[in-house]
Amino acid sequence: MRIGQGYDLHRLEAGYPLILGGITVPHDKGMVGHSDADVLSHAITDALLGAVALGNIGLLFPDTDPAYKGADSLVLLKEAWRRVQSTGYTIVNIDSTIVAQQPKLNPYIDTIRLRLAETLEIAVEQISVKAKTNEKVGPEGREEAISVQAVVLLQESLPG
Ligand code: MG
């Protein structure tokens, strides 16, 4: 078994889309970043890479590389998982927490889980996505940013 942890934060500003786990959530602000700034996909990507000590998302897909400008983070997640998988592991489960004061995310959680499960080719029951506010304090609480923490458990693939 291997465990991995991932964290990410992106700034919230008017005029950008808010994309979480590949799903565009309607809101008057969105996430600023070099890629599509999908903070949830980024944290999960880092958790997967971390579980097998394969570095992090910024090493694999540098934000100085114009190829990743506006990149679909689900494509990056899929590619990172392909690399992790090739070291001989499968996913047991993923758990994640989105810290966002606004918007209310509960109506989107199941759609997000489905999209991530499809991307990683796992069952939706293997992926948990939770959302909470930050009690109006800190950058998330002041609606200046959204952050995500994620953990993943991998197990060695069975031979054959
Ligand atoms: Mg990021």
Predicted pLDDT at 160: 62
* H or E, element range at 109: helix 109-120
Residue 64 has pLDDT above 70, yes or no: yes
Predicted pLDDT at 9: 98
Residue 69 has pLDDT above 90, yes or no: no
Asked, as a colleague might, if the bond just before 103 is cis with ω within 30 of 0, I would say yes
- What would the mean pLDDT of 143-154 be, rounded to a whole number? 98
- What would the mean pLDDT of 44-59 be, rounded to a whole number? 97
For residue 124, the CA-to-ligand 1 centroid distance in Å is 23
Residue 63 has pLDDT above 90, yes or no: no
Instruction: Tell me the whole-structure pTM to 2 decimals.
Output: 0.96
For residue 14, the CA-to-ligand 1 centroid distance in Å is 18
| Dihedral pair phi/psi, residue 115, rounded to 5° | -65, -45
What is the number of H-type helices and E-type strands within the chain? 5, 7
For residue 160, the CA-to-ligand 1 centroid distance in Å is 36
Q: Could you tell me which residues come within 8 angstroms of residue 93 by beta carbon, excluding any fewer than 6 positions away?
A: 126, 127, 128, 152, 153
For residue 13, the CA-to-ligand 1 centroid distance in Å is 15
From 2-6, 32-36, 102-106, the region with the lowest mean pLDDT: 32-36
For residue 143, the CA-to-ligand 1 centroid distance in Å is 17
Mean pLDDT of the residues in the chain: 96
For residue 159, the CA-to-ligand 1 centroid distance in Å is 34
For residue 123, the CA-to-ligand 1 centroid distance in Å is 25
Task: Quickly state the pLDDT bin for 70 (edges 50, 70, 90).
Answer: confident
